[in-house]
Amino acid sequence: MDTTATQHDVTALRRHRAELLDSLRAVEQSLAAPAVGDVSVWAQRVSVALIELEADFREHIQLTEGSDGLYRSLLEAAPRLSNVVRTLTADHGRIRTAIGQLVETTGGSVVAADVARIRQAGTTLLARMSRHRQRGADLVFEAYQTDIGGET
């Protein structure tokens, strides 16, 4: 295994994880903001944060599943982890779908009665992504004995 390439991959992954975490925080903050008065303003803020998250998650998928992505090099180094990689890859599809549904919902006409449902779906998404990020960090650590960090 080329350790220089692995170090580069892990460095890029750390940087991207920090960007993804920023997007997750933006979604969390937008969901938690008061939705009083003009609910469409709240929904627009949530939508903007979700669109940014969607773009960052698309990049995450490319970095991990792409032809020169992390999972390919990781499986070369540690084929025993193929089941975990398969699980994380399946997570990608479910998470993309959930983000897409929320983007669609918040991009449309939102009324006060929709806020609780959007918040519930959003917090469920955030929890799913948090678990996914942890499983991904555990996978990289197990394969390379490298902590990609929890970012602060």
pLDDT at 149: 57
128-148 per-position pLDDT tens digit: 999 999 999 899 888 877 555
User: Residue 122: CA atoms inside 13 Å, Cβ hemisphere, count?
Assistant: 30
Res 148: pLDDT: 54
**What is the residue-wise DSSP string for 53-105?**
HHHHHHHHHHHHHSTTSHHHHHHHH-GGGHHHHHHHHHHHHHHHHHHHHHHHH
pLDDT over 70 (residue 151): no
Of residues 79 and 150, which shows the higher confidence score?
79
Q: pLDDT tens digits for 77-126?
A: 889 999 999 999 999 999 999 999 999 999 999 999 999 999 999 999 99
Q: What's the mean pLDDT in 6-17?
A: 74
Q: Which one of 2.60.40, 1.10.10, 2.60.120, 1.20.120 gives the CATH number of domain 3-144?
A: 1.20.120
Q: What is the pLDDT of residues 21-49, one digit of tens each?
A: 999 999 999 999 999 889 999 999 999 99
Domain extents in the chain? 3-144
Confidence (pLDDT) at 152:
47
74 contacts 143 by C-beta, under 8 angstroms: yes
